[in-house]
Structure 1
Amino acid sequence: MIDRLEKEVDMLERHLQVLRMVIENEPIGIVKMSNETGYPHHKVRYSLRVLEEENLIEPSSQGAITTEDTHDFVEELDGKIDHIVEKLDGMKIETAPEAEN
């Protein structure tokens, strides 16, 4: 159960790293992103597809570029992540300290 969540968080981290690269270097292509991040081409391509489906980037002849929605998404991102972290903290199961003999 937790393993699946961890994999999702890792994938989200990759998507956000790819988005950050597009924001900082637009237009940017798959090969350059793959070389700079160390992610295989197919993983970069998948992240780009996800970001495009979310309307956060769009393809151009020179590489990926941001869209009108990118700025608003980035502005709201920290608050959303903080909310998720609070939720996860609330899910922790505290164990009672062991009784001393």
Structure 2
Amino acid sequence: MIDRLEKEVDMLERHLQVLRMVIENEPIGIVKMSNETGYPHHKVRYSLRVLEEENLIEPSSQGAIQTDHTEEFVDDLDNKIDSIVDKLRTMRIDDTAEIEN
């Protein structure tokens, strides 16, 4: 159960890293992103597809570019992450608490 969550967080981290590269270097292509991040081409391509489906980037003839929705998403990202972190903290089991079987 926790392993799946960790994999999802790793994937989200990759998507956000790819988004950051698009924002900072647009237009940018898969090969350059793969070389700079060390992620294989297929993983960069998947992240680009996810970001495109979320309407955060769009393809151009020279590579990926941001959309009109990217800035709003980025502006709200820290709040969303903080909210998730807070929720995860409430799920912790206190070391001193006894777990009843």
- The alignment's TM-score, normalised by the length of structure 2, stands at 0.95
Q: Provide structure 2 residue ranges, at least 5 long, that are not aligned to the other structure.
A: none
- Alignment-mate amino acid for residue 96 of structure 1: T
Question: In the alignment, what sits opposite 1:70?
Answer: 70
**Which digits, 9 at most, give the CA deviation of each residue in 1:14-44, with x for residues without a partner?**
0000000000000000000000000000000
Percent pairwise identity: 82
By how many angstroms is 1:95 displaced? 2.1
- The alignment's TM-score, normalised by the length of structure 1, stands at 0.95
Q: Distance in 1 between matches of 2:30 and 2:4?
A: 27
Q: CA RMSD in A?
A: 0.8
**Which digits, 9 at most, give the CA deviation of each residue in 1:52-71, with x for residues without a partner?**
00000000000000000000
- Alignment-mate amino acid for residue 71 of structure 1: E
In the alignment of these two chains, the number of paired residues is 97
Q: Provide structure 1 residue ranges, at least 5 long, that are not aligned to the other structure.
A: none
Is 1:22 paired with 2:28? no
Q: Which runs of 4+ in 1 moved over 2 A?
A: none
